Amino acid sequence: MITVAGYVVDEGLAYDPEHNLWVQRRGGDVVRIGYDPLGAETAGDIVAISLPPVGQAIDRGAPLATIEAAKFVGPLPAPVSGFINGVNESLALNPGLINTDPLGSWIAELDGVNEDAFLHLVAGAEAIRSWFAEAVERFRVQGVIAE
- Residue 145, in any domain of the structure: no
pTM value surpassing 0.75: yes
Has residue 147 got a pLDDT over 70? no
89-95 long-range contacts (CB < 8 A, ≥24 apart) are 89/51, 91/49, 91/51, 92/49, 92/51, 95/46, 95/47, 95/48, 95/49, 95/67, 95/68
In a domain, 146, yes or no: no
Residue 141 has pLDDT above 90, yes or no: no
CATH number at residue 88: 2.40.50.100
DSSP secondary structure code for residue 53 in this structure:
P
Q: Is 53 within the bounds of a domain?
A: yes
In-domain check, residue 34: yes
Domain total of the chain? 1
94 is a domain residue:
yes
Give the three-state DSSP class for 52. Answer: coil
Report the C-alpha gap between 91 and 94 in whole angstroms. 5
Inter-residue contact 20 to 39 (CB < 8 Å):
yes
CA–CA separation, 147 vs 140, rounded Å?
Answer: 6
Q: Please list the residues that pair with 25 across neighbouring strands.
A: 31
- Tell me if 77 sits within 8 A of 20, measured CB to CB: no
Residue 147 within a domain: no
| Closest alpha carbon to 37 in 90, 114, 105, 123 | 105
User: Tens digits of per-residue pLDDT, 8-58?
Assistant: 899 999 999 999 999 999 999 999 999 999 888 888 899 999 999 999 999
- What range does the domain containing 58 cover? 2-140
Mean pLDDT score of the chain: 91
